Structure 1
Amino acid sequence: MARFIAHAEFAMSGFHRSPGARPAATRLAGTAALAAALACAVATPLAFASPAAQYPATAKRPVSDTFHGVSVSEDHRWLENGASAEVTAWALAQQRLTRSVLDGLPQRASLAKELAQMIGGNKAMRHGFELTAGQVFALKRQPPKNQDLLVVMNASAETASERVLLDPNLLDKSGKTTIDWFKASPDGRLVAVSLSRNGSEDGALHIYRTDNGKALPDLVPRVQFATAGGSVAWTPDAKGLYYTRYPQGQERPPADANFYQQVYFHRLGTPAQRDEYVLGRDFPRIAETVLASSDDGHHLLADVSNGDGGEHAFWLRSRGENGSEGAWRLLAGFEDGLRAAQFGRDGKLYGLALKGSPRGRIVAMSLADPAADLRSATTVVPESEAVIEAFAASATRLTVEALLGGPTELRRYTLAGEPLGTLPAPAASTNLIGLRLKGDELLIGSQSFTRAFSWLRLDSAAAEPKPQPTDLAEPPAFAQDGGLPGVEAVREWAVSKDGTKVPMTIVRRIGTPLDGKQPVLLTGYGGFGISEQPRFKRDVALWLRHGGVYVQANLRGGGEFGETWHQGGMLTRKQNVFDDMIGAAEALIKLGYTTPERLAIQGGSNGGLLMGAVTTQRPELFRAVVSQVGLYDMMRVENTSNGAFNVTEFGSVKDPAQFKAMLAYSPLHQVKDGTRYPAMLFTTGLHDGRVEPWMSFKMTARMQAANPGSLAEGRPVLLRVEADGGHGIGTSLAAGVAEQADIFAFLFSQLGMN
């Protein structure tokens, strides 16, 4: 499913679906002891400009591996052993150093207070909608509650009809239990919910009644993990459900505990140990499966991804007239270039095809034809100049999210593909499809860098459809008139090393002088075909409020210009992503916004790899770097369980050409002793199931060893470890505020901001 989900409420760059983790039993060994130690870490504020300031001692124990005749060495592999008392002591010493520096910054306390006020003034927002049995289910973000609630409304999604079904904040007073996902039964009487703790994404399935919120005795373990996600589809009679399942007990070796995801069937009221295998034994080790049912329940679709590189296969099972389950049949394989599929309301299955059309075209096949498949399906919406990001097939209309290099617009068609025009939308905005309501009604979302997110109700069949406002997402209290007055977003183009033009959006106060003195924060991602689109973000508002300029670059590896743009930044072409980011930094200096002493960069997950690569390649370009839950050792990524899912995106050291490309940019191996690097803040979470915490441990150690005097110089290399967090998904609201206060205090101090 290739998603790096947004980091709580606070990510300044996209965290979508990510890189590396070992099986939970091995990965989390010793975590409890380390978490307890970190929770108690206190330190006296450190004057890091003092000549006496030093980093904690870190042992060097060289280890070498040979790949294709090339010897590759590192000094800190011992930090991979999270169960070691020595690693615990080292991490605790690093945490004390980090706290001594960050807590000693004069801006930190006031920034934490300001962030808490901005978040505390937020209004409720609903998302993750599902229409079932004449009811709309949704997740509700309601500050200051730490976790989202599960709510239900009437078929028109009117908030006056809303009631709470499940509040995880009551299940766990610490605020560390989150709802991974949910699925209501066809009759609306029950809802299946995956719950996990501490940001681990290691979820078990619970069943709740929707009339009183009480839990049934059913409990199904290991339906969800960070590697391949998780999914559920109910039977039409609501007496059982199909679900994704990871290996149990001794079914697989420990190294395969988070692989070989398969589909099983659970009948309500029976023990999970008696659940039946359904599908997936022949799928790849790194398969990721998403299940979906047609509205009438007669068809079950399995969307199977081959890791995270964008290859999908689709399997369909249909019921016979007597209600019996038919055989599974393959509608499209990994090689056929289908990216997504959706049941229509007209007896058809619609698909998004990329083969021969890298910007996408929509195809349709009849579900009544037992010989039909997506490979030979009829094209109804041909490829155009815009990228098809997503679509919705309602009763008589197709609505398409058309991506234009970052911003999106919504285009309408008949089900036969006849164009019906584009919905009016603000310039440079993100416009998305949130939910198919009854008939041709849709919930659509809209936002921009300067205008807060809103949900609108739309009758897509109207001759001149006019989106109607709703109160499903109210603008936060800090927004004035629903936005940021006096702020503008302008589009500029950088030039990469190979001459490719790379777009970037610059968010600034109107009248910002181009005098080279602006504190600039540049972000990017560049991977997995994920598009960086305009978003209204609280942390950007805070950054602008204090005189900063915010820049988002649309790098290759993303999907902003289709599959060609994605493939231009993957596998042996990954260096293009880093060249694009460097080109964006150089353009900001050339345009007169800033200088290297006032330029900071930030990214997370795959964007953390980006941070490490551009920092080691062009350290003189930046004053400060914030790298969150990032990948840094590309020689060992595929040895981690989630990292194995990323081989189809990054490549494998087993392939000579891919190994050569990966070694050339692997941040850990490109650090040079004696180099004057920017100040760096690495962040990680002990329960991260997507990127191993030791990635940040090793990179921190290597950077500190390369220039041990950087702490005294005032360019510290710091490691921030969240004891009760993971990759960012499920992070509590309070923990998110604390992390962002640390990040902003670090950036303000380095860029000389008040």
Structure 2
Amino acid sequence: MKSTIATLSVAALTLMACQTQKTMHEYPQTKKVSQSDTYFGTSVEDPYRWLEDDMAQDTKEWVKSQVAFTENYLENIPFRATLNNQLKEIWNYERVGAPFKEGNYTYYSKNDGLQAQSVIYRTDAGGATEVFLDPNKFSLDGTTSLAGLSFNKKGTLAAYSISEGGSDWNKVIIIDAVTKKQLDTTIENVKFSGISWLGDEGFFYSSYDKPDGSALSAKTDTHKVYFHKLGTKQSEDQLIIGGDNFKRRYMNVGVSDDERYLILSAANATNGNELYIKDLKNGGDFRPVQTGFNVNTDFVDSKGDVLYLLTDKDAPNRKLVKTTINDLSSWVDVVPETQNVLSVSTGGGYLFAKYMKDAVSQVLQMDYDGKLIREIQLPGKGTAGGFSGKESESTLYYSFGNYIMPGTTYKFDTKTGSSQVYYKPNVKFSPEDYVSKQVFYTSKDGTKVPMIISHKKGLKMDGKNPTILYSYGGFNISLTPGFSVVNAVWMENGGIYAVPNIRGGGEYGKKWHDAGTKLEKKNVFEDFIAAAEYLQSNGYTSKDYLALSGGSNGGLLVGATMTMRPDLAKVALPAVGVLDMLRYNKFTAGAGWAYDYGTAEDSKEMFEYLLSYSPLHNVREGVCYPSTMITTGDHDDRVVPAHSFKFGAELQDKQKCQNPILLRIETKGGHGAGKSTEQMINENADKLSFTLWEMGIKTLN
């Protein structure tokens, strides 16, 4: 009897300890409502549905309470201000973009260091330099950014788009590029659009009808292409294509460099497109180059009647082909498919075949017949971008960098193949003190996956190194090596930064992408888990010193991984994540992500698969989840913040242990693009300080 009482007492004490831990953080109250949906006979509860209404007062009050709670927690971290200062110090260096010529001027971007937004400058033939556009004057707080800039062929007219608070809804302002004076009224409600000029007449742009209700969350799925003629009102703009007679989610019309062709790309998802072309010289309507959505084909360039296309049709790693306007069905290989993924740019009368080999760049210069001129000798192993320009230019520019080499701009002579440094940033960082190496590890099903691991030289592999494991794994997007001042500060403080190139990305072409989609999406999470296990088993880190990080689709990656394997890491940092996999397609352009995810309405099998890993629906009672900081923006109209709100509410309600669940909500912040320098510094200081603090680190060296 005595032993039974003792056993009951231990059990009671254990229960009390759990209850004490659970109530250790007095989270803001989040009401629950009676709401459910039925999918193929299965009822799914959604008690936080009310948080989807971003216009409702109770949602706004809830956001305020979460912001206050998070700020109260973070302000108690003693080295938060130190990290903020470290970031400011390293961020405060001049950054100059590659120059480009338009008309009689050479343009370039420059940020003095801590300016909220980079400024566009120009230099005339006499060498006089002036400010062309200063986005820092678009708003008082620096949260309105330059989203795009396009010139007519003569360089005498320009149109630039602006984003307010990071929103995908843009405004387009038209100016005389010589005098910089505004022409016409501002074009509004432009979204997912390029700006393509046709002579001096005007330009093509794309948009959706502004939805009823919330512009930040309401569904937008019928893209329309318009032509704005200079000197007219937006209400008079000509509808070129789109609407009920040609319904597509994404459409853009571009003009070829010789201004002979209009090129229409139309798609219903983020993968797979139709391509149409219109010959302005000989008249007629748009003619199909490719129909259906099973492959991707993009226009690259034209030479008279000959058109150059980049395609993955019968070539998962892509190839460059040519066809003629007189026979669009006959395609001839110019640059055949290889074992490495291909992208192509043009400049100086040449083609540049840019290959990705194990996520590292290789660049070949070719003529328009596909004959090799030379392989470009890059400065090392990393990512090269650029090699594009007008046909008449013999000097092109490219950037090169990796995880421990700040991005440097090089000047390239197309005739000799020689490169020289054009601009090297003066960053307070010494690459020679760091190491960045690529390893290959084995995932659950035996697949070999590459990962690049970067850190200070001489780091002791004792399992106690703070480590951020970052990845994406979706939408055919490739993670190639690139320098980040945030990662530099992390590594300077003894951290390891590891990036695995998991399935779902584009590092190994269409097959690699498809292996992480729909009913194979869990391959992505298993690859990420295997990367963490590799780091732990090889002494780089351990569970108590590991943080999982990713944004957007990478936010889904973190959310799914932490709910599948809550024991894997100490910290989770899901940013602007897709976290409700049953309803993601109900908001903004979310339905276009179905190629990667499938939808809950597709079939019973697809619904059950999504439900089995949807982060929101797999938070369980009685489980200790990692210390979590969920980040989102109140103007995010790409992945609406309701994903983060609902996931955070579930975690706060069900978290078993003392690990905190924080929601860091950026006001006047969107999906990521266009944030001011101050916003980026503050957010990253909070993330890094939270991560180190939760790993038990109390002071910085």
TM-score by length of 2: 0.92
Query: Which moved further from structure 2: 277-286 or 722-731?
Result: 277-286
The aligned counterpart of 1:144 is: 114
Structure 2: segments with no counterpart, 5+ residues: 1-19
Aligned counterpart in structure 1 of residue 421 of structure 2, from 469, 494, 497: 469
* Matches of 1:256 and 1:434, distance apart in 2: 39
Report if aligned partners of 2:249, 2:268 keep a CA contact under 8 Å in 1. Answer: yes
Matched, 1:297 2:249: no
Structure 1 residues 319, 249: closer, same or farther in 2, change over 3 A? same
Query: Which moved further from structure 2: 207-216 or 191-200?
Result: 207-216
Report if aligned partners of 1:605, 1:629 keep a CA contact under 8 Å in 2. Answer: yes
Structure 1 residues 257, 222: closer, same or farther in 2, change over 3 A? farther
SS in 1 for 2:432: coil
Matched, 1:387 2:350: no
Residue 63 of structure 1 and its aligned partner are, at CA, apart by: 2.2
Amino acid of the structure 1 residue aligned with 2:181:
K
Matched, 1:659 2:603: no
Report if aligned partners of 2:201, 2:230 keep a CA contact under 8 Å in 1. Answer: yes
Amino acid of the structure 2 residue aligned with 1:291:
V
* Matches of 1:281 and 1:330, distance apart in 2: 18
* Matches of 1:346 and 1:451, distance apart in 2: 42
* Matches of 1:178 and 1:245, distance apart in 2: 19
The aligned counterpart of 1:541 is: 488
Matched, 1:112 2:93: no
SS in 2 for 1:377: strand
Aligned counterpart in structure 2 of residue 246 of structure 1, from 208, 211, 214: 208
Q: CA RMSD in A?
A: 2.5
The aligned counterpart of 2:511 is: 564
Aligned counterpart in structure 1 of residue 279 of structure 2, from 308, 318, 342: 318
Residue 634 of structure 1 and its aligned partner are, at CA, apart by: 0.5
The aligned counterpart of 1:123 is: 94
Aligned counterpart in structure 2 of residue 348 of structure 1, from 306, 309, 318: 306
Matched, 1:403 2:403: no
Structure 1 residues 430, 592: closer, same or farther in 2, change over 3 A? same
Aligned counterpart in structure 2 of residue 681 of structure 1, from 606, 624, 629: 629
* Matches of 2:492 and 2:217, distance apart in 1: 48
Residue 433 of structure 1 and its aligned partner are, at CA, apart by: 2.2
Aligned counterpart in structure 1 of residue 45 of structure 2, from 59, 63, 73: 73
SS in 2 for 1:244: strand
Aligned counterpart in structure 1 of residue 195 of structure 2, from 220, 229, 232: 232
Cα-to-partner distance string for 1:628-673 (whole Å, 9 max, x where unaligned)? 1111110111111221111122111111232222111100111111
Structure 1 residues 277, 385: closer, same or farther in 2, change over 3 A? same
SS in 1 for 2:330: coil
Report if aligned partners of 1:429, 1:534 keep a CA contact under 8 Å in 2. Answer: yes
The aligned counterpart of 1:260 is: 222
Residue 738 of structure 1 and its aligned partner are, at CA, apart by: 0.9
* Matches of 2:287 and 2:82, distance apart in 1: 60
Amino acid of the structure 2 residue aligned with 1:126:
G
Report if aligned partners of 1:451, 1:536 keep a CA contact under 8 Å in 2. Answer: yes
* Matches of 2:305 and 2:409, distance apart in 1: 29
Residue 511 of structure 1 and its aligned partner are, at CA, apart by: 2.2
Residue 487 of structure 1 and its aligned partner are, at CA, apart by: 0.6
Residue 350 of structure 1 and its aligned partner are, at CA, apart by: 1.5
Report if aligned partners of 1:338, 1:351 keep a CA contact under 8 Å in 2. Answer: no
* Matches of 1:498 and 1:132, distance apart in 2: 52
Report if aligned partners of 1:606, 1:630 keep a CA contact under 8 Å in 2. Answer: yes
Structure 1: segments with no counterpart, 5+ residues: 1-47
* Matches of 1:746 and 1:563, distance apart in 2: 37
Residue 468 of structure 1 and its aligned partner are, at CA, apart by: 2.1
Aligned counterpart in structure 2 of residue 430 of structure 1, from 365, 383, 392: 383
- Residue correspondences, number: 677
SS in 1 for 2:226: strand
Matched, 1:752 2:696: yes
Equivalent residues in 2 for 1:197-212 (5 A)?
A: 197-212=164-179
Report if aligned partners of 2:320, 2:334 keep a CA contact under 8 Å in 1. Answer: yes
SS in 1 for 2:405: coil
The aligned counterpart of 1:453 is: 407
Matched, 1:217 2:184: yes
* Matches of 1:386 and 1:605, distance apart in 2: 26
Structure 1 residues 588, 275: closer, same or farther in 2, change over 3 A? same
The aligned counterpart of 2:295 is: 337
Matched, 1:640 2:640: no
Amino acid of the structure 2 residue aligned with 1:123:
E
SS in 2 for 1:218: strand
Matched, 1:719 2:672: no
Structure 1 residues 87, 505: closer, same or farther in 2, change over 3 A? same
Residue 192 of structure 1 and its aligned partner are, at CA, apart by: 0.5
Amino acid of the structure 2 residue aligned with 1:631:
V
SS in 1 for 2:132: strand
Residue 423 of structure 1 and its aligned partner are, at CA, apart by: 1.2
Cα-to-partner distance string for 1:409-433 (whole Å, 9 max, x where unaligned)? 1112221112334211244300122
Residue 49 of structure 1 and its aligned partner are, at CA, apart by: 8.7
* Matches of 2:444 and 2:337, distance apart in 1: 29
The aligned counterpart of 2:500 is: 553
* Matches of 2:155 and 2:663, distance apart in 1: 47
* Matches of 2:219 and 2:469, distance apart in 1: 38
Query: Which moved further from structure 2: 186-195 or 336-345?
Result: 336-345
* Matches of 2:550 and 2:129, distance apart in 1: 37
Amino acid of the structure 1 residue aligned with 2:239:
Y
Structure number with higher relative contact order (C-alpha < 8 Å, ≥ 6 residues apart): 1
Equivalent residues in 2 for 1:34-45 (5 A)?
A: none
* Matches of 2:105 and 2:602, distance apart in 1: 51
Structure 1 residues 161, 748: closer, same or farther in 2, change over 3 A? farther
Residue 477 of structure 1 and its aligned partner are, at CA, apart by: 2.7
The aligned counterpart of 1:606 is: 553
Cα-to-partner distance string for 1:722-746 (whole Å, 9 max, x where unaligned)? 1111111111111111111111110
Cα-to-partner distance string for 1:66-116 (whole Å, 9 max, x where unaligned)? 111222223211222223332222222211110011111001111111111
Residue 134 of structure 1 and its aligned partner are, at CA, apart by: 5.5
Report if aligned partners of 1:286, 1:644 keep a CA contact under 8 Å in 2. Answer: no
Residue 552 of structure 1 and its aligned partner are, at CA, apart by: 0.5
Cα-to-partner distance string for 1:324-374 (whole Å, 9 max, x where unaligned)? x532111112346233221245663221121221111110123xx3x332x
Cα-to-partner distance string for 1:10-34 (whole Å, 9 max, x where unaligned)? xxxxxxxxxxxxxxxxxxxxxxxxx
Report if aligned partners of 2:506, 2:513 keep a CA contact under 8 Å in 1. Answer: yes
SS in 2 for 1:641: coil
The aligned counterpart of 2:11 is: none
TM-score by length of 1: 0.85
Amino acid of the structure 1 residue aligned with 2:121:
V
SS in 2 for 1:646: helix
Report if aligned partners of 2:348, 2:414 keep a CA contact under 8 Å in 1. Answer: no
Cα-to-partner distance string for 1:153-172 (whole Å, 9 max, x where unaligned)? 569xx9x6643211121232
